[in-house]
């Protein structure tokens, strides 16, 4: 089984809909991250969390919200989806030191019509 699992893997929805992307991990890591990837661009950080009580905005947090339900679960919500949020979304985890490589899920491909 994958260490970092993202659901759903693919989603097509309409403008204005509320969407939740979920991430769960079995690595026992404290730190979790949400990124988005657009064609021709690198990954950009949306939100990150260092533990259940710690949530931080990343570079591009506008239009998104997150919830850290447990150490192993970190969800990303789009309250009212818009077409320019169409992208590939990745969840990642890392250990407490933050000095070791992050471990990534396989991504969620989100299309907003």
Partner 1 sequence: KQEVTQIPAALSVPEGENLVLNCSFTDSAIYNLQWFRQDPGKGLTSLLLIQSSQREQTSGRLNASLDKSSGRSTLYIAASQPGDSATYLCAVKPISSGSARQLTFGSGTQLTVLP
Q: Which residues make up the interface to partner 1 (CB under 8 A)?
A: 4, 33, 40-45, 48, 56-59, 90, 92, 98-107
Nearer to partner 1, 18 or 44 (CB): 44
Nearer to partner 1, 19 or 43 (CB): 43
Query: Could you give the CA distance from residue 45 to residue 17 in angstroms, rounded to a whole number?
Result: 22
**In angstroms, what is the minimal distance from the CB of 89 to partner 1?**
11
Two tokens, residue 84: 């320019």
**In angstroms, what is the minimal distance from the CB of 27 to partner 1?**
13
Contact 64/46 with Cβ under 8 angstroms? yes
Nearer to partner 1, 18 or 89 (CB): 89
- Burial state string for 99-112 with b = 16 or more CB within 10 A and e = fewer than 16: eeebbbbebbebeb
């Amino acid at each position: 089984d994958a260490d970092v699992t993202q659901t759903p893997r693919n989603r097509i929805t309409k403008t204005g809909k509320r969407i939740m992307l979920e991430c769960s991990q079995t690595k026992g890591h404290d730190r979790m991250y949400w990124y988005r990837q657009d064609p021709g661009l690198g990954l950009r950080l949306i939100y990150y969390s260092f533990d259940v009580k710690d949530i931080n905005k990343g570079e591009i947090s506008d239009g998104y919200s997150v919830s850290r339900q447990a150490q192993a679960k970190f969800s990303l919500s789009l309250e009212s989806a818009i077409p320019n949020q169409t992208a590939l979304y990745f969840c990642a985890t890392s250990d407490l030191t933050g000095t070791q490589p992050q471990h990534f899920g396989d991504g969620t491909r989100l299309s907003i019509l």
